[in-house]
Amino acid sequence: MLTALEVGDAQPAVNTVTLEKPRFHLAFAGGDGNVRPQPFSEGHMPRILAFAAALFLAVSPVSAQCAGENLLATMPAEDRAVLEAAAASAPYSSGNFWRATRGDEVITLIGTYHFDDPRHQATLEAITPLIETATTVLVEAGPEEEAALLDMMARDPSLMTITEGPTLLEQMSPEAWALLSDAMSKRGIPAFMVAKLRPWYVNVLLAVPPCAIAEMADPKGLDGMVIDTAAAKGVPVKALEPFDTVFDIFGAMTEAEQITMIEATLLLEERSADFFVTLADAYFAGESRMVWELMRKVSYEQAIVPRAEVDAEFAKMEDVLMAGRNRAWIPVLEQAAAGGPVLAAFGALHLPGDAGVLALLEAEGFRIEPLPL
């Protein structure tokens, strides 16, 4: 199930014909829940489901051409109430715009959605005055990090493609390969190319529905709009984390597990547009945490193990994809705030939770307050 949530937002912008010069926005970071497919492997499936859910939320673009339904809006009221209660149990579960203050230190935080949407313009207009007065703008990855990643991948093709050993065609069952070939063909990538791609990269591409793949040629999203605005105003843009974070994230899984995740993702291929529309709508409503809980619900219904095991794996994935990175960001935020006002823009799912950026800043003595958008 590669409905990804927060894989650190490994969003490759790629020419799907030549597969040249992939670009990444390292910003890491569902139907109605009634899908009941045949399970793949019992041993790793809970972890795979959790990781796939996270990747979905991380790299989810929605374009005007994606005509799906909002699964939260059409869900039975009692099911939605359960998800709302689960989401609300996380600290700072609602809202994308916040201020953290400690003495003279001020950090303004905006949760982002990493792909293009006309609704971003109103957000940008609201935060532009804060960008103009900031001494530093912090993002998950800026232009320098993107350039460094491109350079590393150009120097080492094996990071993205299989240069030795069995291809995906040889590692997957005929049935699974047929499903993958069809799904990637709809994204403009022929089977002979897919066979040589690393499983992690296939997973990222599958996280983008066919209706939105054209946007991958030059994704911008709110993150890119913030970076461009800061550059135009002469405000320094710095990164919250190293450029190669995406490889650390996928390094938490073996290649066999990544292939299992491909298979799980393919089970939801027919509803990919629905999942993406749901995520975008939830983000602009300030309710991104609801989608995390929706993916947990889907995982419950796909898994063949107790819910407690699914929950445990979701907790592990939340730590890998979000909490661990959040903890590493706090010293970066504090150091920047010591030099003057800061505007920090990063994936909205990094804001809420016991180990979310807001709760972690509060633990360091910052006062947290929501801001209107």
Q: What integer is the mean pLDDT of 336-360?
A: 97
Q: Which of 144-153, 186-195, 292-301 has the highest mean pLDDT?
A: 186-195
pLDDT value at position 219?
A: 64
CA distance 251 to 267: 24
Percentage of the chain with pLDDT > 90?
51
Q: Which two tokens stand for residue 241?
A: 């984390």
What residues are paired with 161 via a beta bridge?
A: 197
| Lowest mean pLDDT segment, chosen from 45-49, 69-73, 282-286, 357-361 | 45-49
| Lowest mean pLDDT segment, chosen from 9-18, 159-168, 250-259 | 9-18
Does residue 164 surpass a pLDDT of 80? yes
Q: Which residue has the higher pLDDT, 54 or 199?
A: 199
Beta strands in 45-133 (DSSP E): 97-102, 105-112
pLDDT value at position 170?
A: 95
Does residue 48 surpass a pLDDT of 60? no
Burial (Cβ within 10 Å: 0-12, 13-18, ≥19) of residue 116: buried
pLDDT value at position 62?
A: 46
Instruction: Give DSSP secondary structure letters for 130-145.
Output: HHHH-SEEEESS-HHH
Closest listed residue to residue 253, CA positions, set 324, 317, 196, 173: 317
Average pLDDT, the chain: 82
Instruction: Indicate the domain borders of the chain.
Output: 4-370
Q: What SS3 class is residue 232? A: helix
| pTM of structure | 0.81
Q: Give per-residue pLDDT as tens, 234-269.
A: 999 999 999 888 788 777 778 888 898 888 888 888
- Residue 282 neighbours by CB under 8 Å, 6+ apart: 72, 288, 290, 291
| Lowest mean pLDDT segment, chosen from 212-226, 270-284, 349-363 | 212-226
Does residue 194 surpass a pLDDT of 80? yes
Does residue 129 surpass a pLDDT of 90? yes
Q: Which residue has the higher pLDDT, 274 or 367?
A: 367
Q: What integer is the mean pLDDT of 219-226?
A: 87
pLDDT value at position 367?
A: 98
pLDDT value at position 38?
A: 32
Does residue 103 surpass a pLDDT of 80? yes
| Lowest mean pLDDT segment, chosen from 142-146, 333-337, 361-365 | 142-146
Q: Which amino acid is located at 212 in the chain?
A: A
pLDDT value at position 210?
A: 85
pLDDT value at position 5?
A: 37
Q: What integer is the mean pLDDT of 127-140?
A: 97
Please, which pLDDT band fits residue 3 given cuts at 50, 70 and 90? very low
Please, which pLDDT band fits residue 46 given cuts at 50, 70 and 90? very low
Q: Assess contact for 98 and 351: CB atoms under 8 A.
A: yes
Does residue 106 surpass a pLDDT of 50? yes
Angle between helices 199-206 and 45-58 (to 10 degrees): 60
pLDDT value at position 32?
A: 32
